[in-house]
Amino acid sequence: MPEIVSEIAGGLGGLMLKIFLIVMPLIIFLEWAKSQRWFGRFIEATNPLFRPVGFRPQALFPLLIGLLFGIAYGAGVLIPQARSGDLDAKQVFLIAAFLGLCHAIIEDTLLFVALGAHGWVIVVSRFLIALAAVFGLSKLRWPAVNTPAPAVIKGDG
């Protein structure tokens, strides 16, 4: 019985330490990066990558925030932008699809790496499938391009 307790305590302690050493530096780094002037320029610079799969430049900010920080943060940026008419229904759909498949890519991947996963396999495969899915979805006729985002139509907020 005591061996089980010490085994669990040891395992748990190791896990907590690993998580702490991943989460703290990462979040501090991301918070700092977001405050730097080059951050906006960095986001704009990703246009050549995301334009071919169907994203307009206005989509890049919520997309990159969601990709780096997590889906809730991406939504937090996207929703006001959609309400202000900056994003149409199609862009909202594509951003949501991409983020649904690939968000918080650094944090999620590092957590699995802490448990022994091959990180690059996770990052590359998630990113590629998100790009591929958005590319396919962008070819659909629905939602029709320039349909206002529903948040605007229903007049909420």
Partner 1 sequence: MNNDILARVNGNVLVIGARKGLSTFWMLMRIMIPVYIVVALLNHTPVLPAIARFFEPAMGIWRLPGEAALAMVLGHFVNLYSALAVIAAGKWDPVAVTVAGVVLGVSHSHIMEAAIFRQMRAPTLVLVPLRIVAGWSLGWVVALLFPR
Given the complex with partner 1, which of 3 and 48 has the nearer CB atom?
3
Site string for partner 1, 99-128 (x = CB under 8 A): -xxx--x--xx-xx--xxxx--xx--xx--
Rounded CA separation 11/30 (Å):
29
Rounded CA separation 79/115 (Å):
35
85 phi-psi bin (left φ>0, alpha ψ -120 to 50, beta other): left
User: What residues from 40 to 69 belong to the interface with partner 1 (CB under 8 A)?
Assistant: none
Question: Hey, which residues does 88 pair with through a beta bridge?
Answer: 148
> What sections of the chain are H helices per DSSP?
2-35, 37-45, 47-50, 60-69, 71-83, 89-101, 105-114, 119-138, 150-153
User: What residues from 8 to 37 belong to the interface with partner 1 (CB under 8 A)?
Assistant: 8, 11-12, 15-16, 19-20, 23-32, 35
How many Cβ atoms sit within 10 Å of the Cβ of residue 116? 6
Given the complex with partner 1, which of 38 and 48 has the nearer CB atom?
38
User: What residues from 75 to 94 belong to the interface with partner 1 (CB under 8 A)?
Assistant: 75, 78-79, 82, 89, 92-93
Rounded CA separation 29/35 (Å):
10
Given the complex with partner 1, which of 43 and 102 has the nearer CB atom?
102
Q: Which residues bind partner 1 (CB under 8 A)?
A: 4, 7-8, 11-12, 15-16, 19-20, 23-32, 35, 71-72, 75, 78-79, 82, 89, 92-93, 95-97, 100-102, 105, 108-109, 111-112, 115-118, 121-122, 125-126, 129, 133, 149-151, 154
